[in-house]
Amino acid sequence: MRNLRWLVMGMGVAAAAAVVPVARGESLAGLEDKLTGTGRIGTYTPHASIAPATEAGVPATGRDPAPAIAANSDRASAAGELPAGVSEREVRPTDDAVASCRVEIARRRQVAPAKVHASTVLVRFKIDKTGRVHDAEALSAPDTDLEVAACAKRVLSEWVFTKRSRDNIVVERTYRFSQRL
């Protein structure tokens, strides 16, 4: 009796194993060819054609010229200087990173950078002993798109300065965007 039970169970498992691959093969038939047939996921069709540059001074490479930005630290303190322990030479590289925010937002929206309003952004951030930036915030952004101000805050939050002897140095910096692009 015991052997008969094992025999019936074995035949049932064998029958199930024989049926399952056939059913799987039929439902997924041709899927491998569809997945690897073209090697492409989709087709990109641009929304607008890209015209060559026509203005003088604009390179015809199709790339945007570097956006101009002037940084002014007149809000860092009453005397118009950066706080002790931070030099203009250290903070100046952030200018280009913040300037790229206007272009980043324009690309995301698929418009020309000149159509993204950017005048000035006042950003405050803290530099800790390791050089990492904490608590970055855009304090004011008159005549500036809020996405540009948020981008400036994000860019500065990711910035790392050199290590310092003091902790939590507070820096306020005004970034002025050039109106000509």
Q: What is the pLDDT of residue 64?
A: 44
Backbone CA torsion sign across 85, 89, 90, 95: positive
User: Could you tell me the pLDDT band of residue 84, with boundaries at 50, 70 and 90?
Assistant: confident
Spell out the domain ranges in the chain. Answer: 2-34, 69-177
Q: Which CATH architecture has domain 69-177?
A: 2-Layer Sandwich (3.30)
> Average pLDDT of 74-80?
32
pLDDT in tens, 16-55: 665 555 444 445 555 555 555 555 554 445 554 444 444 4
Number of other CB atoms surrounding residue 152 within 10 Å:
28
| Burial group, residue 71, by CB count within 10 angstroms (0-12, 13-18, 19+) | middle
- Identity of residue 3: N
pLDDT at residue 179 tops 90: no
From the list 157, 73, 161, the residue with the least C-alpha distance to 122 is 73
pLDDT in tens, 106-131: 999 999 999 999 999 999 999 999 99
Tell me which of 2 and 137 has the higher pLDDT: 137
pLDDT in tens, 140-152: 999 999 999 999 9
pLDDT at residue 5 tops 80: no
pLDDT at residue 15 tops 70: no
